[in-house]
Structure formats: C-alpha cells, structure tokens
C-alpha cells in the first residue's frame, strides 16, 4: 500500500481546477454542483457555486483560508458565498472552527518535495536491497530512522546519507537493518537528502539501492500537529488531514491514514482512486 495511496490521490488532485473557495471533505448521498455535475470528496467549490443535496444527503465543506467547517444536509440547496455558505434564501450556515486556519490549497502539483524515481541497482548478480523507509517522502519527526530489507549473503551494510550538494553527512557500516540518523549528521528542516545502502558480502559489494527524502519545515510540522485528528474523528477531518499530508509530501504518513479511509469507504469513487 505504501506509495500507491499517494500516487492515486495525486492523480485525482492534479485533475482539480485551481482552488478558490471551499473544499468538500465528506459527502454521503447525492449532491450536485450546478453546471458541474456530482460533488465528490475533494471537489473544490468557488464563490458563487450552487449546491443541491438530495434527501438524506450529508456534506462537509472546509474553508482552508479561514479554517471553518460547514456541515450541510439535504434535501436542500446552498450557495458558496464570500463569507461562507448560505441556504438558497441567503440564510447563513453556522460554521465550526478547525484547530488551525490558513491551510495550503489542496493541489499536489505544488508539493515542496517532488517524488523522484528511486534508483535500484544490482550490478553484481544479486537482488538489490529494498529500501523501506524513508523513500520519496517528507519526514515529520526530528529523528529519522533508515530501514531496509535483508539481502541474501550480505554480512553487513554500508549506509550513506548525502545533502543536495552531494556532501556526505553519514557514512556507517552496520549489521542491522535499521539505524537512526544521529544528531551529528545535522539534518535541516526543509532540506532534501539522498541515502544509499550497499549490501556487503565477504570482501565484495553485492548490490546497492538509493532513494531520497526531505525534512518537513517547522511550519508544516506545527500545522500538521495541530490538524492531526484522533482516530475517532469524523471522516471529513481525516480526509482533510490526509490531503494536507500529501501537500507537504509526507507520503508515508499519508499511507497509514489512507489505508483506514479506504477500509471505511470502499465504495466511494475518490477513496477507490486512492487504492489504484
């Protein structure tokens, strides 16, 4: 499931128009946007959009800029206004405040960390080690752990970490399959790094594999910590958190959240797209 989730949602979000207004984070039932068709999870609604909800339908909208959440029910019609959501006769819908405001727009194309192709090499006839984590993801914690799978016939592994300017900040030989990057390596928030594992046999190198990761910025870490919902939180709050994780490139964190959402809504078209 790792990475499939991020790629599925990325494809879905890339098809969205430039966001302006409100974001649908949950919808159960039938909802239509006038002139656009069905309103689904992660649909962006600009000011002036008209919504029609069928009998028994529920919908949750979030204003990312103000950090307000609107819960709608049908059968009813609504309008996205400059200051929120109104009924068809212009009655204001009461909003609930989210834990944080000024959230980034949900547009995967603006990710701070692009997902580069992982380099895998096995130049010596052995299967290359498979890097487990972190692989093409932003790391939210200060402590980074590098983890990989065992390579047959390997007796130890050489692990290196490099900055974007190719300076080596960690060079360690170990028999373990997981090591912590020490504080002395000097990982910096907002910076991107590459790491490599070379599987070593008796006097020879068996294979190597490399990948990249980034350290999330302090601002992103704080915002996500404020936004992180409890396991029992409403579905829409967890969808919003997932989208924000993907916006900062935290694909491994997003995978864990998305796995639970897919189990909960296996028939939702957007949630199905996440699993592809």
pLDDT per position in the chain (276 positions), as tens?
Answer: 444 444 444 444 444 444 447 999 999 999 999 999 999 998 889 999 999 999 999 999 999 989 999 999 999 999 999 889 999 998 999 999 999 888 877 654 333 334 444 444 445 455 566 899 999 999 999 999 999 999 989 999 999 999 999 999 999 999 999 999 999 999 999 999 999 999 999 888 899 999 999 999 999 999 999 999 998 999 999 999 998 998 899 999 988 888 899 999 988 877 766 545
- Tokens read off for 233: 């939180």
- Tokens read off for 180: 């912590």
Q: How far apart are CA 206 and CA 199, in angstroms?
A: 5
Q: How far apart are CA 20 and CA 106, in angstroms?
A: 10
Work out whether strand 205-215 and strand 137-139 pair parallel, antiparallel, or are unpaired. Answer: parallel
Q: Give the pLDDT of residue 129.
A: 61
User: What are residue 184's DSSP bridge partners?
Assistant: none
SS3 content of the chain, % helix, strand, coil (to 5): 20, 35, 45
Query: Domain extents for the chain?
Result: 4-110+219-275, 119-215
- Tokens read off for 213: 């990761």
Cα 53 to its chain centre, rounded Å, is 29
Tell me 56's DSSP state: T
Q: CA distances (Å), 16 to each of 60, 109, 158, 257, in order?
A: 18, 10, 43, 21
Q: Give the pLDDT of residue 156.
A: 96
Task: Compute the Cα dihedral for 64, 69, 71, 76 and give only its sign.
Answer: negative
Backbone φ and ψ for 246, nearest 5 degrees, come out as: -70, -35
Q: Give the pLDDT of residue 128.
A: 60
Cα 4 to its chain centre, rounded Å, is 11
Domain at 119-215: CATH architecture: Sandwich (2.60)
How many residues appear in the chain? 276
């Amino acid at each position: 499931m790792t990475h499939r989730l991020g790629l599925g949602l990325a494809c879905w979000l890339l098809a969205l128009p430039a966001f302006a207004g409100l974001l649908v984070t949950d919808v159960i039932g039938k909802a239509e946007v006038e002139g656009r068709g069905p309103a689904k999870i992660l649909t962006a609604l600009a000011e002036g959009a008209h919504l029609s909800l069928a009998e028994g339908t529920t919908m949750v909208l979030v204003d990312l800029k103000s950090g307000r959440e609107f819960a709608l029910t049908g059968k009813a019609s609504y309008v996205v206004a400059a200051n929120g959501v109104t009924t068809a006769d212009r009655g204001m819908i009461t909003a609930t405040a989210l834990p944080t405001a000024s959230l980034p727009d949900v547009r995967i194309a603006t990710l701070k960390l692009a997902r580069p192709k992982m380099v895998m090499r096995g130049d010596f006839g052995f299967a290359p080690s498979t890097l487990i984590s972190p692989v093409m993801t932003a790391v939210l914690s200060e402590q980074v752990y590098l983890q990989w799978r065992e390579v047959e016939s390997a007796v130890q592994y050489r692990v290196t970490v490099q900055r974007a300017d190719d300076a080596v900040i960690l060079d360690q030989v170990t028999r373990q399959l997981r090591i912590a990057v020490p504080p002395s390596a000097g990982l910096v928030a907002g910076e991107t790094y590459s790491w490599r594992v070379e599987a070593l046999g008796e006097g020879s190198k068996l294979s190597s594999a490399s990948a990249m990761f980034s350290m999330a910025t302090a601002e992103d870490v704080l915002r996500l910590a404020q936004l992180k919902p409890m396991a029992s939180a409403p579905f829409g709050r967890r969808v919003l958190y997932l989208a924000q994780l993907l916006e900062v490139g935290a694909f491994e964190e997003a995978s864990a959240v998305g796995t639970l959402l897919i189990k909960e809504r296996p028939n939702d078209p957007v949630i199905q797209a996440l699993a592809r």
